Amino acid sequence: MRSVCIAGNWKMNMSPSEGRAFAKALVEALKDATVRVVVAPPYVTIAPVAEALSGSRITVGAQNMSDNLSGAFTGEVSAPMLKEAGASVVILGHSERRALYGETDEFINRKVRLALAQGLDVILCVGETLAERESGKLEHVLATQTAGGLKDVTSRDMSRVIIAYEPVWAIGTGKTATPEDANAAHAFIRGEIAKLYGKAVAESLIIQYGGSVKPSNVKDLMAMEHIDGALVGGASLTVEQFAPIVRYNIG
Ligand code: 13P
């Protein structure tokens, strides 16, 4: 049995004080949760959130990271800084970073390797646009982004990698992939991992689904064989929505 991980990507929401208060409320609401939970605040909110979550089972992630360790890189934040602030995971290759900030597979791969070398776990995001899906390029895009993002990542380090399948057309749109479509994409990604790393690594890899996950659709998604968690955007910003998503398997 693969383990399950539910992560909340707060995107550019939650100031330090808002994040701290929200994190305290989450600790209360998720006391009985049984799955791994990660929340990823904006950079400046990581430290107060990590402090509010200390002693709880909820861990903290970052939404991005520099591809360098230190130096003259104005506006950037390094892996060691994220760790010191309290992050243990970093989301890399999110489609918003690919589309809005021009991040390529090669650039994302540099960050993936650096994060792993610095002791951060990685959530690597992959996913197709609607145009790519409609023109029959789904598998090509998933294969390229998966292999490109993981180039030179060792089998051993793969135990610290999660892949998030996020179809771009389902992000923030209210349109969710059907559980069957999402499962097919996840199965394809798992097959690509098996080609690169063998069956054992592929079978134990956590693949999250992301794109308009809500309390009302999480159970059907999580019931699918290859869906091992969720990367939640909008619905991770309130206790009312995020708690039932994390507690999908409890009552
Ligand atoms: P939404 O859940 O708001 O669609 O966002 C998904 C996402 O991009 C998470 O990384």
Provide the token pair at 57. Answer: 């089972």
CA–centroid distance for 183 within its chain:
17
Work out the pLDDT band at 251, boundaries 50, 70, 90: low
3-state class (DSSP) for residue 148: helix
pLDDT of residue 218: 98
Helix H or strand E segment including 97:
helix 95-101
- What residues are labeled active site? 94, 166
Mean pLDDT across 166-180:
92
Check residue 55 and give its pLDDT: 94
pTM of full prediction above 0.95? yes
Residue located nearest, by CA, to atom 1 of ligand 1: 233
Backbone angles phi, psi at 208, to 5 degrees: -90, 150
151: which 2 tokens? Answer: 């180039």
Please state the domain extents for the chain.
5-246
**What is the 70 CA–ligand 1 centroid distance (Å)?**
30
Q: Which fold has domain 5-246?
A: TIM Barrel (3.20.20)
Residue 143 has pLDDT above 80, yes or no: yes
Which residue in 184, 183, 185, 205 sits closest to 194, CA to CA?
205
pLDDT digits (tens, 9 = 90+) for 57-109: 999 999 999 999 999 999 999 999 999 999 999 999 999 999 999 999 999 99
Q: Is 217 in the pocket of ligand 1 (CB under 6 A)?
A: no
Residues in the chain: 251
Residues 6+ apart with CB under 8 A from 84: none
Q: Which residue owns the Cα nearest ligand 1 atom 7?
A: 233
Q: How far apart are CA 82 and CA 38, in angstroms?
A: 14
Could you tell which of 6, 9, 212, 237 is best to mutate to test the pocket of ligand 1, judged by most ligand atoms within 8 Å of the CB?
9
174: left (phi over 0), alpha (psi -120 to 50) or beta: left
Pick the residue whose CA is nearest to atom 9 on ligand 1: 233
Residue 192 has pLDDT above 90, yes or no: yes
Q: Examine the pLDDT at 228 and tell me if it is beyond 70.
A: yes
C-beta separation of 44 from 75 below 8 A: no
